[in-house]
Chains A and B, each alone.
Chain A
């Protein structure tokens, strides 16, 4: 089935640096979701993007959906140690409404 490809797999940053993770699909997506999973925790829904070119912000987090609805990104400005975790994008697979998760990007923030 359709999958979203996510890069990078890991990202080490110094506290205060910015961070970006990218998701790409070979086909048009009806929507894309982002989840965060803290170490030892469970995935927590962050946001859903639906419209072409959509940009949404949550404090230091900026989410974008590409014009062709085939790619998305999550950008964190001035990372903090509380941002540590794995960020997953998730897109619908085939005709299903159920999100299929990308492989995730693990963010490690060095104080």
Chain B
């Protein structure tokens, strides 16, 4: 079970389409993340929002556009994607703790196929 909810679970889109991935958490976490995971590879960090402000962008192409409307919601807007962007997109959240590391809670992911 996960307390981070992602929709849709599956998405197929053409290269000219515009779509959005959605993520929601109600754990009171103040940091939210987007990761991209290709098959048989580890998750790769894309974006981090901390207190609803974009704090990290790992040099992600502009065809991916994140948005954090409030502390519970995180969106990823997709436009003009390429077939190589097909992957599992994972949302995660964490408390912004004073500890040495952030414990990440992941959603179930959106499996994206770009045709």
Contact = CB atoms under 8 A, between A and B. Distances in A.
A30 B45 contact: no
Given A43-B43, A98-B45, A50 B106 contact: no
B90 interface: yes
A103 B108 CA distance: 20
B106 A97 contact: no
Contacts, number: 56
A75 B71 CA distance: 37
Nearest to B90: A42
B42 A88 contact: yes
A36 B55 CA distance: 27
Given A42-B107, A43-B106, A100 B101 contact: no
The range of chain B's interface size is 20 to 34
B115 interface: no
A33 B101 CA distance: 8
Contact of A43 (B40, B41, B90, B99): B90
A92 interface: yes
Task: Classify the secondary structure of B's interface with A.
Answer: loop
A76 B55 CA distance: 37
B63 interface: no
B56 interface: yes
Task: Classify the secondary structure of A's interface with B.
Answer: strand
Contact of A42 (B44, B101, B103, B109): B109
B78 to A, nearest CB: 19
Given A42-B2, A98-B56, A104-B42, A92 B100 contact: yes
Interface of B: 2, 33, 40-45, 48, 56, 90, 99-109
Sort A-B residue pairs by CB-CB distance and give the 8 closest, nearest first: A101-B42, A31-B100, A31-B101, A30-B100, A42-B106, A43-B106, A42-B108, A42-B109
